[in-house]
Chain A
Amino acid sequence: MSEKTWKEIPIGGVIEDAGNAVTYETGSWRTYRPIWFADRCIQCLRCWIACPDSAIVTEDGKVTGVDYEHCKGCGICSFECPVDPKAIEMKLETDVEE
């Protein structure tokens, strides 16, 4: 992507294409990775509500996983998950096998 001059960009740092963060990877510096377990999940959607980065992926109103391109690993989803054992567990990135 070639960078634009000051004459070619909107003033004030406004982003005219709101929501274009989906095209920008922001999840690269995560320390902990949330791992979702479908078999424990009761689909209460608390994680989806609480995630500050809209990184809980849903289909037809059901959680199907985590968007690791945008998840920053804050752990809120796991903290809010009401089931025991947790249906989302936080694991150190370095411990997670690719």
Chain B
Amino acid sequence: MARRLTLTGNDAGAEAMRQIDPDVVAAFPITPQTELMHKFAEHVADGDVKAEFVLVESEHSAMSATVGAAAAGARAMTATSANGLALMWEIVYIAASYRLPIVMPVINRALSGPINIHCDHSDTMGCRDSGWIQLYSEGAQEVYDNLLQAVRIAEDPDVLLPVMVTFDGFIISHTAEVLDALEDAEARKWVGEYLPKYSLLNTEDPVTFGPLDLQDYYFEHKRQQVEGMRAAPDVIRRVGREYGELTGRPYDLLERYRTDDADLVIIALGSTCGTAKTVVDWMRDEGKKVGLLKIRAFRPFQEKEVAESLKGAQAIGVLDRSISFGAPGGPVHKEIRAALYGADCDTPIVNYIYGLGGRDISTDHIRTVFEELEKLPGSPTPEDNIRFIGLRE
């Protein structure tokens, strides 16, 4: 039985965390922490959860305490945003290298400066190579759904990698939406009991975590991380299918929204996908063959599936909510170009950087993108293939 709730993205995240009821949650209790943790702290104070809640003095310590708890065999979580994630950076890599299945909601916000607290993807795109799985959410429903799935994905014995569930700051985090949540008992059953592969607290079978790992074995451990990431797509798909059987909302790594016969396809992540779907519907009503490829899992990135999804496209627009300074376009654009290399594809591709620091992206902007793409079929990728939407030129 689903419970229909009206929650902000932050509260949807806190609701999922309440139901997951991890053994340990460590958090920095001041900004850039968000209301998600504020709400979870209320659940702790009200006795709704059994989680050991550790308030620490920085985001670096929050991730450190989470890593320590996870190494001790606990199901451990934290949450962060923007510069908080930046301060965790060192330990973000360590969590992945120690193969600790930590789940962390990240509220996507700009990495200052000048000082800005609004949405863009510069925070999580910056750590796309840290070894974490990254699931981007389109709205509050997906925040909730992705968090419940993330626990099962992270803890899968073939994966054992931490998962970031990201959602757009303010646009999702502070907007109330109607969503369906599981009953507590169903959610508990879904996440199941956590049986850690290793536990520092298991004195019957003592192990050492975090030893020195030099020229002779470090490389082998990195190769193992690659293997965990390679195992992840099948697990994400399986968990998404099973979640669909339970809730009626199945998930995949990508979502192809009216792309099957589309001539013009745009690619996006996060809340912008909702805006884009509306425009796709409008333009379809006008008889235009347009579609959206939504990337839910940016890590692991599914290059074959992406290439397959774009096979019929005659022009492609890639939307990036962050900049990779000095590189040929934004991070999503680079992945798409790489995925299409060798896929026998000479489709023109234009990168659209948008929405930095919370700059709004409207249906008109998306329509403009499609209208620009309309001019491209049959010609090569234009010289000015890195464009900016919603910027005063």
Chain A residues with CB under 8 Å of chain B are: 3-6, 9-16, 18-19
Contact = CB atoms under 8 A, between A and B. Distances in A.
A19 B208 CA distance: 8
A89 to B, nearest CB: 30
B220 A12 contact: no
A18 B160 contact: no
Interface of B: 97-100, 160, 197-198, 206-211, 213, 216-217, 220-221, 223-224, 227-228
A13 B211 contact: yes
A19 to B, nearest CB: 7
B217 A12 contact: no
A19 B221 contact: no
Contacts of B207: 14-16, 18
A5 B208 contact: no
A6 B221 contact: yes
Contacts of A6: 220-221, 223-224, 227
Contacts of B160: 11-12
A3 B228 CA distance: 22
B97 A13 contact: yes
A19 B206 contact: yes
Contact of B100 (A10, A12, A15): A12
B211 A12 contact: no
A45 B213 CA distance: 33
Given A18-B207, A18-B208, A12 B99 contact: yes
B221 A13 contact: yes
Q: 9 closest A-B pairs (Cβ-Cβ)?
A: A12-B99, A18-B206, A15-B208, A6-B220, A6-B223, A12-B98, A11-B99, A13-B213, A18-B208
Given A14-B98, A15-B211, A16-B207, 18 more contacts: A3-B216, A5-B220, A6-B221, A6-B224, A9-B217, A10-B198, A11-B99, A11-B197, A11-B221, A11-B224, A12-B198, A12-B221, A13-B97, A13-B221, A14-B207, A14-B208, A18-B206, A19-B208
B198 A13 contact: no
Give the interface centre of A6, A11, A15, A19 by most chain B CB atoms within 10 Å.
A11
8 contacts: A6-B221, A11-B221, A12-B98, A12-B99, A14-B198, A14-B208, A14-B209, A18-B207
Contacts of A18: 206-208
Contacts of A14: 98, 198, 207-209
A4 to B, nearest CB: 8
